[in-house]
């Protein structure tokens, strides 16, 4: 037993490791986290999948064996205790009891016997008689000896549960892998090219595999993830997905995930059609099919592509689909576009303090832009403008590695809630040919400047210069110029002047871009000021966007894929059986109290000797003994 308890302790510690260290992550994450050395060591120890590692299974196996031995050794004595009345107790041994009492009586032996039997029966005791060597009549009684079954049940339950668990573990695969018959596949190759060594046949007794089915597609294989690779699990039937649905609550949170499945099997006269959802799986041929998650099933997408650095507002069209690639640009500068994910609903809590209600901000698209050296940047674009602090922006996030947070470019909406206004403004700001006119317009509105032609000319030149700098790298460029050419003391004042000048120029530029499109001009008011500030910030941020291409999602045709989990679990019924035994065992062990009573009637002396014992002495027993002692006194005395 000591061995079993220490095994249980090791099991406990191992389990804790498994909860602290996130299990079954992609191996790159572990390398980044621990570094190459520790990564290798931990991998050898199987810490990335503790609960399926060889040593963990070995401990479980030892537990089964040692608990079985324990049962084997103790059950006979337990059964003996359960059956026996201990009627061979001698007067001497009864005298040694801590709980005993002797009564004297005038009644005859038979009369006493009758009374005592009535008493024991009323208290629910079973009893047996025996005439002692000294002629005294002994009644040996017991109650609650079923408690002994508690021990047997709980321990058998442990073995049964662990046995069930081992049945559902991947022990057969582990052994085959060790012997070299099987190996995991680590490459991302089409299923049909996976070698037979990495395939599990339909006769595999237990597995837990996953399957992603796009709408309208059927398949007869699933994938079992093992460490940093996978195995292909063949299925004895085909599963087709007709339709996948997500329903939402009024608040936008998901309410249900449902898949309309069709099971196609030559053994069936007609295919089975069934809708599964979370908490409502379908079982066929011993394989349970669960709704586990969902993902995109290849949504088709139409984009308008803006070149952020072009001094015009021309756009190109780009079409693509999730999990497919596209190309932007030409030659050495060409970028591969990898469309990774599309989400139709995004429930985000937009309130600044996080206390408000989460809301749906509409579809977004995640894609990567990869250059010809293989370097990629990841982008996430929201299709609809989002409200932040009462104003609306188109958000587009960029990050260079998965560890980073997305940094967002916020493009303010125009009066039509579109982004054309900003894009046209941006084009004007980038178009050097427009600078002289911008400068003239500013000069015309400035009383101080327009009086003197020399001042006016100088002023216009400086505006053009400033805009040229600004068009190259936004506020950063302006700051650099100031740092280089202005003495430290005057920098702040100069910076303020420049910012003022840029925003005045922006006002003219924005209006020029509106004029060109025959749109109503901006009035000078607080709203315009905010719009210009946001536009200039966005303009400055495009230099940090990492690419000249801005992909504006125009249209999509949503196609979903349902994530199914397929489980064959022959151990389940064993585990449930064990659980029932466990509960029965625990209750009988704790709530059935074994008590024994000996009543010895001494002939001649007319004395009754009462002794009581329990294998667990506690308050309840004390109370019961005291009660019986008094009741017997009034019964006999």
Q: What distance lies between CA 225 and its chain's CA centroid?
A: 16
Instruction: Quickly list DSSP for 247-310.
Output: EE-TTS-EEEEEEEEEEE-TT-SS-EEEEEETTB-EEETTEEEEEEEEEE---EEEEEEEETTS
Q: What's the closest the beta carbon of residue 219 comes to other proteins, in angstroms? A: 18
Q: What's the closest the beta carbon of residue 347 comes to other proteins, in angstroms? A: 12
Distances (CA, A) of 118 to 77, 86, 124, 125, 631: 30, 20, 10, 10, 12
Please list, in sequence order, all residues whose beta carbon lies within 8 angstroms of the beta carbon of residue 102, skipping any fewer than 6 positions away: 607, 608, 609, 610
Q: What's the closest the beta carbon of residue 153 comes to other proteins, in angstroms? A: 12
Q: What's the closest the beta carbon of residue 591 comes to other proteins, in angstroms? A: 8
CB 229 within 8 A of CB 188: no
Measured from the CB atom, the residue of 40 and 124 that comes closer to other proteins is: 124
Measured from the CB atom, the residue of 257 and 303 that comes closer to other proteins is: 257
Q: What's the closest the beta carbon of residue 380 comes to other proteins, in angstroms? A: 22
Of 478, 474, 442, which is closest to residue 461 (Cα–Cα)? 442
Instruction: Quickly list DSSP for 566-614.
Output: EEE-TTHHHHHHHHHHHHHHHHHHHH---EEEEEEEETTTTEEEEEEEE
Count the residues in the chain: 637
Q: What are phi and psi of 593, to 5 degrees?
A: -105, 125
Distance CA 513, CA 427 (A): 8
Per CB under 8 A, residues contacting other proteins are 5, 8, 11-12, 15-16, 18-20, 22-23, 50-51, 115, 118-119, 122-123, 165, 168, 208, 249-251, 253-257, 277-281, 288, 290, 292, 355, 565-567, 569, 572, 575-576, 579, 582-583, 586-587, 589-591, 616, 618-620, 631, 634-635
Measured from the CB atom, the residue of 306 and 628 that comes closer to other proteins is: 628
Q: What's the closest the beta carbon of residue 64 comes to other proteins, in angstroms? A: 16
Measured from the CB atom, the residue of 267 and 353 that comes closer to other proteins is: 353
Q: What's the closest the beta carbon of residue 566 comes to other proteins, in angstroms? A: 8
Measured from the CB atom, the residue of 178 and 590 that comes closer to other proteins is: 590
Q: What's the closest the beta carbon of residue 350 comes to other proteins, in angstroms? A: 15
Of 247, 190, 188, 239, which is closest to residue 217 (Cα–Cα)? 239
Measured from the CB atom, the residue of 6 and 372 that comes closer to other proteins is: 6
Measured from the CB atom, the residue of 366 and 567 that comes closer to other proteins is: 567
Measured from the CB atom, the residue of 161 and 308 that comes closer to other proteins is: 161
The label of the residue with tokens 């299990």 reads 23
Q: What's the closest the beta carbon of residue 122 comes to other proteins, in angstroms? A: 5
Q: How buried is 411 (Cβ within 10 angstroms: 0-12 exposed, 13-18 middle, 19+ buried)?
A: buried
Measured from the CB atom, the residue of 158 and 232 that comes closer to other proteins is: 158
Of 507, 472, 82, which is closest to residue 311 (Cα–Cα)? 472
């Amino acid at each position: 037993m000591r061995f079993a308890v220490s095994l249980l302790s090791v099991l406990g510690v191992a389990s804790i490791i498994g909860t602290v260290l996130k299990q079954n992550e992609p191996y790159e994450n572990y390398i980044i986290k621990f570094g190459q050395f520790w990564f290798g060591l931990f991998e050898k120890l199987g810490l990335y999948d503790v609960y399926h590692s060889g040593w963990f299974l070995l401990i479980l196996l030892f537990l089964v064996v040692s608990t079985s031995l324990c049962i084997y050794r103790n059950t006979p004595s337990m059964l003996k205790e359960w059956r026996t009345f201990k009627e061979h107790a001698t007067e001497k041994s009864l005298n040694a009891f801590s709980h005993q009492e002797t009564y004297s009586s005038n009644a005859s032996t038979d009369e006493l016997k009758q009374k005592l039997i009535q008493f024991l029966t009323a208290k629910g005791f079973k009893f047996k008689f025996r005439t002692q060597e000294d002629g005294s009549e002994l009644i040996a009684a017991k109650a609650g000896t079923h408690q002994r079954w508690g021990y047997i049940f709980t321990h058998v339950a442990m073995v049964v549960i662990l046995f069930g668990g081992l049945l559902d573990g991947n022990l057969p695969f582990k052994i085959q892998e060790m012997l070299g018959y099987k190996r995991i596949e680590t490459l991302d190759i089409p299923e049909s090219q996976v070698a037979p060594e990495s395939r599990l046949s339909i006769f595999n007794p237990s597995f837990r595999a996953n399957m992603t089915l796009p709408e309208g597609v059927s398949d007869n294989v699933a994938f079992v993830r093992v460490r940093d690779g996978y195995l292909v699990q063949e299925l004895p039937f085909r599963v087709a997905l007709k339709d996948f649905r997500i329903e939402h609550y009024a608040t936008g949170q998901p309410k249900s995930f449902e898949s309309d499945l069709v099971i196609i099997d030559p053994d069936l006269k007609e295919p089975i059609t069934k809708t599964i959802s979370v908490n409502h799986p379908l079982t066929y041929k011993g394989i349970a099919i669960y709704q586990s998650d969902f993902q995109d099933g290849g949504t088709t997408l139409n984009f308008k592509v803006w070149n952020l650095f072009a001094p015009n507002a021309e756009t190109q069209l780009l079409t693509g689909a999730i999990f497919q690639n596209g190309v932007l640009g030409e030659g050495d500068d060409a970028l591969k576009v990898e469309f990774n994910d599309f989400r139709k609903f995004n429930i985000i809590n937009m309130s600044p303090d996080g206390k408000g209600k989460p809301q749906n901000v509409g579809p977004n698209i995640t894609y990567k832009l990869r250059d010809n050296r293989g370097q990629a940047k990841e982008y996430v674009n929201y299709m609809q403008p989002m409200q932040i602090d009462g104003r609306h922006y188109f958000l587009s996030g960029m990050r260079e590695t998965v560890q980073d947070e997305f940094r967002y470019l916020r493009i303010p909406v125009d009066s039509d809630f579109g982004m054309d206004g900003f894009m046209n403004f941006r084009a004007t700001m980038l178009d050097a040919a427009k600078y002289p006119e911008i400068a003239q317009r500013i000069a015309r509105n400035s009383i101080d400047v327009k009086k003197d032609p020399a001042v006016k000319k100088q002023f216009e030149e400086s505006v053009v210069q400033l805009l040229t700098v600004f068009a190259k790298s936004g506020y950063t460029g302006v700051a650099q110029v100031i740092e280089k050419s202005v003495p430290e003391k005057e920098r702040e004042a100069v910076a303020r002047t420049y910012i003022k000048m840029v925003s005045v120029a922006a006002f003219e530029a924005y209006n020029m871009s509106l004029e060109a499109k025959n749109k109503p001009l901006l009035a000078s008011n607080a709203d315009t000021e905010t719009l210009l500030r946001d536009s200039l910030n966005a303009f400055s941020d495009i230099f940090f966007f990492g690419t000249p291409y801005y992909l504006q999602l125009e249209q999509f045709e949503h196609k979903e894929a349902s994530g199914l989990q397929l489980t064959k679990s022959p151990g389940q019924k064993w585990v449930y059986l064990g659980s029932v035994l466990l509960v029965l065992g625990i209750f009988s062990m704790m709530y059935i109290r074994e008590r024994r009573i000996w009543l010895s009637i001494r002939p001649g002396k007319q004395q009754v000797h009462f002794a009581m014992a329990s294998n667990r002495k506690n308050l309840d027993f004390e109370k019961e003994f005291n009660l019986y002692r008094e009741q017997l006194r009034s019964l006999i005395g």
